[in-house]
Structure 1
Amino acid sequence: MKTLIIFTHPNHQSLSYSFLEATIQGLQDNPNKHEIEVVDLYAESFDPLLVFNEHKRRRDMHIDPKLEKYRNQLLWAERIVFIYPIWWGRPPAMLLGYIDQMFASNFAYRDKGGLFPEGLLKGKSVVCISTMKGPVLYPLFWLNNAHKTLMRRALFSFVGIKKVKFFEFGNMEKSGGNQAKKLKQVHQYFKTIIQ
């Protein structure tokens, strides 16, 4: 199984980084063979800014040579794992900038003239691991589950990815937030995952 991990946090001393380590360790401890590639958006100084002008058109984003490495990673992957904090009810701007550029027309989807496009990333699966300061039910009751709806329906379903799992951990800045237990949960999930 080929797993691409998109890690989005500027601090390698963060809890998010611990979830990255737990994910990698779980895959390495898995008796099935897993190939792993990690994209650390902040460490790689990924540029999240969209620039469109007379030299760079939106319709050509799917062939932008600057993004070829990232396109090849997404094509290579059978499973994509996103690890990020929830800030202001949504993923960091750095990750949204990656999504804006990578999930482009004629790469991730193709318009067919109807209501919905043809998803070009069919057959892949996604796992989203996110942490937040607020309580775990805050996004559901206060934000109408906006984060999961954004990721599952507005993004992954649109590009043909149907198999999506969320680990959405709340109360992560509290001393009693059960961080070790949640890290173990993520490790165990990837240790035993088959597909």
Structure 2
Amino acid sequence: MVQNKRSTAKNIVIIYAYPNDNGFNSAIFSTVEKNISSKHHVKVIDLYKDKYNPVLYFDDTHKRRNLQFDEEVKGYREIVSWATHLIFIFPIWWGGMPAILKGFIDRVFAKGFAYEYKGIVPVGLLKNKTSWIITTHDTPSFYAKIVQQDYGKVLKKQVLKMCGITPTTVHTMSFLRYTKEKSRKRFLQRMTKEAQKI
């Protein structure tokens, strides 16, 4: 990791959801992780390597109202609580995050832990945290922005903001399948600079 004497030390958690160690998302993850200042404290949640179980279920011993106490994901809740800055790295599939990441949100960002209601108004409980979302997809950028205006934005607008996590920075590599190596290198260079600015 690089040195950055001007920054205030942060507790950073990288939440990574991609199953291929040789893919471009893996390159993004490696680039970001190695360019975060060594002054910061970094933990990684690699959902696929953890073999994380994304299935949310309710029964007599796992009641929906008690999800914030679920022992199976207690360790993940503790890591999220510890963090002051969350970095999400994942591809966009079918217009949204991978199922394993959605299941992470479903089970970990539970009512009573990540948010609560005052009347009908949701109130975030994970305040004083910031986040950075890095995604890739194969859709042309103009189509994603104009035709599918919620494309890849659910995590920022309908999850993190609701939980009190703000501001959130988003970087997206669009039309990935058809980009040239030069464009990919340029994106990784940008990720390098952004990681070093944390």
Map 1:55-66 to 2 at 5 A: 55-66=61-72
- 1:171 paired with 2:175, answer yes
- 1:26 paired with 2:30, answer no
Structure 1 residue 147: Cα displacement: 2.0
What is the alpha-carbon distance in structure 1 between the residues aligned to residue 197 and residue 88 of structure 2?
18
- 1:152 paired with 2:156, answer yes
- Give the letter for the 2:138 counterpart: K
Cα RMSD between the aligned structures? Answer: 1.3
Q: How many residues align?
A: 188
- TM-score, normalization by structure 1: 0.92
What is the alpha-carbon distance in structure 1 between the residues aligned to residue 156 and residue 150 of structure 2?
11
The equivalent of 2:83 in structure 1 is: 77
Residue from 16, 23, 33 that aligns with 1:7: 16
The equivalent of 2:147 in structure 1 is: 142
What is the alpha-carbon distance in structure 1 between the residues aligned to residue 158 and residue 151 of structure 2?
10
Runs of 4+ in 1 over 3 A off after TM superposition: none
In 2, are the aligned partners of 1:119 and 1:159 still within 8 Å (CA)? yes
In 2, are the aligned partners of 1:86 and 1:131 still within 8 Å (CA)? yes
In 2, are the aligned partners of 1:136 and 1:168 still within 8 Å (CA)? no
Q: Unaligned 5+ residue runs, structure 2?
A: 1-9
Structure 1 residue 118: Cα displacement: 1.8
Q: Unaligned 5+ residue runs, structure 1?
A: none
In 2, are the aligned partners of 1:116 and 1:158 still within 8 Å (CA)? no
Higher RCO, 1 vs 2 (CA within 8 Å, ≥6 residues apart): 1
What is the alpha-carbon distance in structure 2 between the residues aligned to residue 146 and residue 169 of structure 1?
13
- Give the letter for the 1:153 counterpart: K
Map 1:121-140 to 2 at 5 A: 121-140=126-145
Structure 1 residue 94: Cα displacement: 0.7
In 2, are the aligned partners of 1:8 and 1:95 still within 8 Å (CA)? yes
- TM-score, normalization by structure 2: 0.91
What is the alpha-carbon distance in structure 2 between the residues aligned to residue 58 and residue 14 of structure 1?
36
SS in 2 for 1:72: helix
- 1:102 paired with 2:108, answer yes
What is the alpha-carbon distance in structure 1 between the residues aligned to residue 156 and residue 92 of structure 2?
15
Structure 1 residue 175: Cα displacement: 4.6
What is the alpha-carbon distance in structure 1 between the residues aligned to residue 151 and residue 24 of structure 2?
23
Structure 1 residue 103: Cα displacement: 0.8
SS in 1 for 2:121: coil
Structure 1 residue 174: Cα displacement: 2.0
- Give the letter for the 1:82 counterpart: F
